[in-house]
Structure formats: C-alpha cells, structure tokens
A and B are shown apart, each in its own frame.
Chain A
Amino acid sequence: EPEVTQTPSHQVTQMGQEVILRCVPISNHLYFYWYRQILGQKVEFLVSFYNNEISEKSEIFDDQFSVERPDGSNFTLKIRSTKLEDSAMYFCASSEQTGGFSGANVLTFGAGSRLTVL
C-alpha cells in the first residue's frame, strides 16, 4: 500500500536553530499538508499546498514557517528559528485530486517527525 514517508523520525535541536522536516508524499497525489501535535494536545492543521503554492494556512503558520516542494517527490517544512513551543510531532499528509478543494479530500498521513527543541 502506498505510504507517505517522513524524515527524520526524531530531531533534537537547540532553540534558534533552523530545522527542515522532509516528506515524500504518495506519488500520484497532488495535495500536500502539514499538521502538528503538541504532546497532550490535539492534532492541528498548519498548511495545505497545491500547484506549488500555499492554499491555506493556519494562524500557527507564521513567518517562521515555510513549505517547499523542491523537486518532484519531496515536500518540506522549514522552521527558521525554532522556539521551545515548536516541540511537537509534525505530520505530513497527501491526498489525491478527486474532490479537489471544493470537495472532500481523504488524507493519507505519514508516521510523523518528532521535533524536540531544547
């Protein structure tokens, strides 16, 4: 069964450092997402991405965050200068084109990248 692959599975960084989390979505999917889950809290939407641009972002996704699809297979989330409160599990997801943004997209999630900021 096709999978969404995320690397690294766990990253520890110092406050103020830049972090890049990587994702390989399912190959025929065209919609990409990042979600995060702070320990003990809900899974929260960060950003959606389609056709090489951000479609929607939450208030969490401030100027410290950016996303990129640098080639035909990877989808990355960059945090420019990490803060303690960025410690969380970050989930990448992708979905097919069926339904599009006016319909229902069924997301396939990766296993997550756990980010620990010290």
Chain B
Amino acid sequence: AQSVTQPDIHITVSEGASLELRCNYSYGATPYLFWYVQSPGQGLQLLLKYFSGDTLVQGIKGFEAEFKRSQSSFNLRKPSVHWSDAAEYFCAVGARNQGGKLIFGQGTELSVKP
C-alpha cells in the first residue's frame, strides 16, 4: 500500500537559515510527488510537483525538492527561510491511474525564529 512519512512533526529554524523538510514514500512504481503548504486559515497550496524527468524540481516561493528513487525520498529545501514561510507543509504521493487520489504525510509544522 502507498504511504508517506514525514518524520519531523515540528521544526524551528532561524530566519535566513536553510531548511530541509523530509519526506519518504512507499510505492511500488514511480509515483507522482507533491509538496503542499497550509498557512493558518488557508487551503492547501501547491508548492511543487514531480511527475517525471529532472529529479530536482523548482517550485514557488523559492522552494525546491529532489526526488531520490534509491532513498524513496522527496525532501523539500529552501536556502534561506523567511518569517512568512512559517506554516504546515505536507508531502503527498499520487499513483498513476488513480487520478486525483493523493496520500498525504502527517505534515511538518515550520516555525521561524527572528
């Protein structure tokens, strides 16, 4: 069965520091991979996605993620965090031939220290 694990429930980083949020997935074939962000009172906003091709994908707000098949990982990175990046981040996997059914990780809450 497909599953997604985000090992870190809560991360705190200083503003201007680099960020890496971890995501591991379990799926029998190459999945579709997504990172969504949720700010308080907001919906889930797509940051970036991986379908195929280049394993390093760029997203909005300066985020990037790298698909590593050998590690079943899709970690999210940002070189310099801004206070406005404080939010909850969700990794999700979608299977081919299952349309929009996504399996989500439990989320990582990011706090940013001034």
Contact = CB atoms under 8 A, between A and B. Distances in A.
Interface of A: 4, 6, 31, 33, 35, 41-45, 48, 50, 55-56, 91, 93, 95, 100-112
A105 B44 contact: no
Nearest to B36: A109
Contacts of A44: 104
Contact of A93 (B49, B51, B98, B100): B100
B44 A56 contact: no
A42 B97 CA distance: 22
A12 B51 CA distance: 39
A111 B104 contact: no
A95 B46 CA distance: 12
B105 A42 contact: yes
Given A31-B99, A104-B32, 12 more contacts: A42-B106, A43-B90, A43-B107, A45-B102, A48-B99, A48-B101, A56-B98, A101-B98, A102-B97, A106-B46, A107-B46, A110-B43
Given A91-B43, A109-B43, A33 B104 contact: no
Interface in B14-46: 32, 34, 36, 41-46
Interface in B49-108: 49, 51, 90, 92, 94, 96-107
Contacts of B97: 101-102
8 contacts: A35-B102, A43-B44, A93-B100, A95-B100, A100-B99, A104-B51, A107-B100, A111-B43
B104 A105 contact: no
